[in-house]
Structure 1
């Protein structure tokens, strides 16, 4: 009698594990965080992906949240929570981007081009090709808090949404360690020079705004799209009366598309492009458009976050995803990708124009599917770029 009961429980558990997705189905995928790049050194920590259905999967897209807690050999702490939530029957979308960083990075020059690696007026430059990079004493230290939430209501059944967002960025305890005003001649950094020119505080900055948003989203799955497209336009208004240091406006325009050449998800070409533009007023230096500061911090491989920064920035990337190996229990178990991208940024303060310099990136990677129902992938990428840049990246879900 006892053995029969145990057998029945095992059979039920196996059935539940293989049950098709339904409303409320939750898929958790923990993964270690490992990486390396010149600005952060070696990165280690833990991350996790949670995917779930707010409604019937036949009429509701899967939602996802990514949580990461990481530390680096340059004594940095990085805590992030990124989310895309689809309401029941895709009635609404909620986009979240929360971050806390006790971090540091070089104060790269503005715009793309050779001057972007020039960190100070004494011609001191950043060694992109070395994991050791510059010493910690050459970095700009800071604490950063971000709270972004955007609510979008479905407009029609064609995939169009419209809505509002609130956006808070606070940088505190900024220490520009390479700056030396006591030396002869003085050593001036791009960060210090920008703040002096545009009237910003050297030790802190605040940017608070609201946004008007339009989204077109027909992707079949946000974790690993096989089909559909995505477009977003975001106009952000940052008035002083809401807490911003200075009033300004910004415009974000984005487009993604996916092409399945074999109709069985074995060979997919994915493209992603966006423009991040300063429309009016002046932004704090750390809020200027910069590579790697998108919602999921995945643009610009293999360059470090913030490596290219300017008044305006444009990015375009293409990725070919190839399925390689299936298992008995997972037909999408293993694959590989090759990618290429390009970034251009302007420097208002130094006369660098968009497209005057275009910085390429390229690389390859492996993909391991760790949850076939949620399409959750673990990605390991290695890439190369200009100025001797190279980097190793561990990703949860596809880059876009």
Structure 2
């Protein structure tokens, strides 16, 4: 048995006014749980569905079909059966178990020896190792339950509000209502009554919420709900905008294809020709830039080791900026030494290049920095 590591969620079990024990009991409901020994964990409706699915698949059940055991004080196989779990189902945000009571279990409740049923549960944060499949870890598994007087979690909703069996055939009803709880002092409230108030917050006044310490939690819940709604609205809007843009693009594409078909134009070929035309234009521009820079290198206006930089600057410029840059390079004086050495730069000493304000303004006009202009002036200053 692995019950020593499982989470033990506990529910109050009571007899009805006729002395009958419940045949179906709530084991778990959704929420965030904070426990001293097992840490924090959450239970969602999806978690409950998964737990029910594991039960139906026979996980931890003898031969995969027998009921799950109901023991005493989490003693596992060392305890006689007090009840058996025949089925699990989800009802809204709660997991319900169909239970058959043994004679022992009935006696324990009727004699007031035990008051709670504690389910043994492995949540998603604490996976269960399937004993039938080595190494297989399963999330959200119910492995049984037990009668106990020491519940781990003490704020779960009682199974029913009527009294438990107490003195033979006599049973006194103890229906839990808001009116009775409101008549008590806050310090007198039991954990069950506080839990009942928390579940009926919508029926309390603003003053009562403050009195019972539920106001802050209520405001936090509203803030969280508002944040979640805003995030969902933003995500939905983004998805809608994306879908609208894609639909608009698809519609435009369909119209273009229809027009092309109507005119007898091969749209794919037209697009391929346009791409080829753009590539040819780019190649022509590059060839022209290379030829211009090579001529500048040959005349000694640009050093040969700056040829690639000069070509890149020309290609990065367009329109009036390209014209201004070419004019700037052309205006540089020819350097016979660079011309004779083909821009090798041999024997040249490092010199400081000074950029005037006028040259900086010129560089700004065609979109290049002072450092870019310095690359062209450096060839002249180093050769003098």
- Bin the TM-score by the shorter chain: under 0.3
Q: TM-score when scaled to structure 1?
A: 0.22
Structure (1 or 2) with the greater helix fraction: 2
Q: TM-score when scaled to structure 2?
A: 0.23
Structure (1 or 2) with the greater strand fraction: 1
